[in-house]
Structure 1
Amino acid sequence: MNAKIKDKIATIILYIISSLVILLLVMFVGYIIYNGRFSLNPNFLFGEPKFAEAGGGIGRQLFNSFYLLIIAMLITIPLGLGAGIYLAEYAKEGKLLNIIRLSIETMASLPSIVVGLFGLLVFVQLTGWGYTVLSGALAIAILNLPSLTRVSENAIRSASKGVKEASLGLGATQWQTIKKVILPSAIPQILTGIILAAGRIFGEAAALLYTAGMSASKLNFSNVSLTNKTSPFSLFRPSETLAVYIWKLNSEGMVPDAAKIAGGAAAVLVIMVLLFNVLARLLGKWIYNSYTGTK
């Protein structure tokens, strides 16, 4: 068997494996959306849940998911981006850098349920906040910090290779170079990592069970406050997200059509995660093209 035949066989095998992966994803997404197809309507998406009768919607849980997503990203992005800049541009080889990298790798390997239990002990009990939006956001930040830090570090390193020396040679300081030259070049990759992290937040359940809680209060948008627990914008109220609601429906069956509602909610969740991933690709490509001047 000559080299060309071996190459063709290997190529065919790789194409088959890739096709199987795509087929598995299509079957998985198709099955979930098909089961929840009857619930994909405005009444379901924005309606109030009904616990004593059939019907109801996921309006509260959908709002809680997006609100928790925003709070978690406000915590994660500055820390992850700052850590990436430090590791790529300021950190020197040595024991401290090895400890930092070991800590990042260890955090990245933690199961979400372990992070949830840590959040229960620290953010819920030790602080005395109880089950709150802020507790859930901090737990999610712990989950996403390692991946966002690595994405930011790699993006900054790859972006700085061609432009860093030129900027410094023209008299710019290191911070000016990072702020004006390197970060704009690295933004497409960093933004992709941010949107992918947002998709993970939207679908996370295990860590939020022990931190954000499993109750969703009625939303009164006329009450705007970050501290009043009766306000939908409060950081100190329980916040049942869509993923947690799906788990609760399947485990407790508290309404007559729990399976139908869970199916519809799962379909919405999968669609949102897919949208986050597609948006990450399209937005990252558009920003890259705008900076490089390509079409």
Structure 2
Amino acid sequence: MLWAALACAAALPAQAQPAYPDKPVTMVVPFGPGGTSDIMARILERHMGEQLGQAMVVDNKAGAGGAIGMLQLMRARPDGYTVGLSVIGPEVLQPAIRKTGYSHQNFDHVCRTYAVPLMMMVPKDSPFQSVADVLAFARKNPGTLTYGSSGRGTLLHLAMEMLLDKAQAKGLHVPYKSSGEMVTGLLGKQVMLFSETPTVSKQYGLRPLAVFAEQRLPGYPDVPTMAEAGWPITASIWGGVIAPKGLPAPVLARLESACQAALAGDAYKTEAQRLETPPAYMDGQRFAAFAAQQSEAYGKLIRDLGLADKD
């Protein structure tokens, strides 16, 4: 009888685990509301949530150039219920500048979702009509050209530093906690200009002067490249979905497929194209390799510009 009972027990199926996901998924965004990363995350959360069959909820965690949000994400349980929007600044630039307590290797990469060049922009009533006007002012008035960024060491900061360094001009960097605050500072005349993505230019009706890209953008055919303005400098913001290291393989695969399907949908494409930030999909493996390459390249640039903190 005992052997029969044991045999019957062994034949019973294991208790079924709930299918992932069976509750909402939090997406940590390492900047405050209003900037490119927040705007793109809120587009993605809707369409990726539809693919997952559960809501995705954006959780903005601004500060320290994005490092605060990245640390929160790194420390979260690797179960797929906390993911994050990775951006070039928090993931690869900040660890090259200061001891953040993390690197790109501390995360599982799910998918890259966008890559878009920066654009120098000013308010519509700005006296600056070109990059030449900006640099002429900076040379004539050293240290009085005020420009904003979403934090020290972000790509927004580095792009302007590269330009000013090559032009042998000086400006005054004014860091903000987020691009939303930076826009408020620009419109309130606290800063004269900043470099951000076309997403922000379109969202807030700002006037672009030049784009940090090799070619003009289709949506801005009259805006010259930096090379056409005399300064061959490129800088692109990219973003994508990452998660705490150690996701179970089926969960990672589920997130990756949901991301790919979301970006392939017409609804996502329409919203993203409207903001001049079309999909730029990479799967998790390619995204991880891309982040490693970017970390190496920008780490060298930051050291060369003397922006890394001294130990």
TM-score, length basis structure 2: 0.24
Q: When you count helix as a share of all residues, which structure comes out higher?
A: 1
TM-score, length basis structure 1: 0.25
